[in-house]
């Protein structure tokens, strides 16, 4: 009879091999989770916040350096007004409720996206926690909020165009590294793993530039049901992938 390994056993197992430094998650399936239960969609997002808490704890415990969560896309502004308002309330609630745990666990809270589009009631606790946690080094938790990968690339290109126009752009060929330095995610480590829940096989404008060499894991589990052991199972699967970065298998260090 096969037994399901305990959370502690799974954690010990993934800690034995190199971990992805930076994991991005497309937290999809909240609406379907709620609809399957005859609940309002917002209840799916609410249950999804519990998954956020569990997965963040697990990532911190095993030693992932950076976790980026796709919480609200630039395109999500076009959802029904009540859903957008409910999500903004949830974000505010999350930032207030999780503040102590984030600070107690030396997590640095970061955010990427068109943050000036967020309502003040989200921006204020977000900026406060970002400032309060700025010296924390155990893990960086980035919320992608009002975020779009295309929007981010256009903003980076616009900054370079402005620098060129004003004569402050160094007169040397632009490299991928110099371009990446203009992205909102610039100081974060490269993205090693992107996970998308809910059975959809799309990137949906998430970390388009940064995921160039990331491994992808698509799981059928809906986000509100995706908990610590699902996350650890993704890390374990990542640890069995061979990352070649364009090389052949034989060229890789043994």
Contact characters 76-115, ligand FPP, x per CB under 6 A? x-------------xx--x---------------------
Q: How far apart are CA 146 and CA 148, in angstroms?
A: 7
What the block records as the tokens of 182 is: 């203009």
Question: What separation in angstroms does the CA of 128 have from each of 21, 87, 109, 133?
Answer: 26, 19, 10, 9
Task: Provide, rounded to whole angstroms, the least separation between the CB of residue 131 and ligand FPP.
Answer: 18
- The answer to whether 7 and 232 are in contact (CB under 8 A) is yes
Q: Which is nearer to ligand FPP, 45 or 108 (CB)?
A: 45
Q: Which is nearer to ligand FPP, 102 or 235 (CB)?
A: 102
Contact characters 15-54, ligand FPP, x per CB under 6 A? ------------xxxxxx------------x--xx--x--
Task: Provide, rounded to whole angstroms, the least separation between the CB of residue 253 and ligand FPP.
Answer: 37
Annotation says 116 is catalytic: no
Q: Does 57 bind ligand FPP (CB under 6 A)?
A: no
Q: Does 140 bind ligand FPP (CB under 6 A)?
A: no
Q: How far apart are CA 184 and CA 155, in angstroms?
A: 9
Taking the alpha carbons at both ends of the chain, their separation in whole angstroms is: 36
Q: Torsion over CA of 99, 102, 108 and 111, rounded to 10 degrees?
A: -50
Q: How far apart are CA 14 and CA 106, in angstroms?
A: 21
Which amino acids are annotated catalytic?
A: 28, 76
**Contact positions toward ligand FPP, by CB under 6 A?**
27-32, 45, 48-49, 52, 69, 71-72, 76, 90-91, 94, 143, 198, 223
């Amino acid at each position: 009879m096969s037994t399901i390994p305990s959370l502690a056993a799974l954690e010990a197992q993934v800690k034995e091999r190199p971990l992805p430094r930076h994991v991005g998650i497309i937290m999809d399936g909240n609406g379907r989770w709620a609809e399957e239960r005859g609940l309002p969609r917002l209840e799916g997002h609410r249950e999804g916040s519990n998954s956020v808490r569990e997965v963040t704890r697990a990532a911190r415990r095993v030693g992932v350096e950076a976790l980026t969560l796709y919480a609200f896309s630039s395109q999500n502004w076009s959802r029904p007004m009540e859903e957008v308002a409910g999500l903004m309330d949830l974000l505010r609630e999350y930032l207030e409720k999780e503040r102590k745990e984030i600070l107690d666990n030396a997590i640095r809270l970061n955010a990427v996206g068109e943050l000036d589009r967020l309502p003040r009631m989200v921006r204020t606790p977000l900026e406060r926690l970002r400032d309060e946690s700025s010296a924390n080094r155990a893990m960086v938790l980035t919320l992608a909020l009002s975020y779009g990968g295309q929007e981010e690339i256009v903003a980076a290109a616009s900054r370079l165009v402005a620098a060129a126009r004003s004569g402050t752009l160094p007169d040397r060929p632009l490299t991928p590294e110099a371009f990446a330095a203009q992205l909102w995610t610039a100081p974060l480590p490269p993205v090693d793993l992107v996970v998308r829940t809910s059975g959809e096989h799309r990137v949906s404008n998430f970390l388009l530039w940064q995921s160039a060499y990331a491994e992808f894991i698509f799981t059928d589990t809906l986000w509100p049901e995706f908990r610590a052991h699902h996350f650890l199972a993704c890390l374990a699967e990542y640890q069995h992938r061979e990352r070649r970065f364009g090389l052949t298998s034989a060229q890789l260090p043994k």
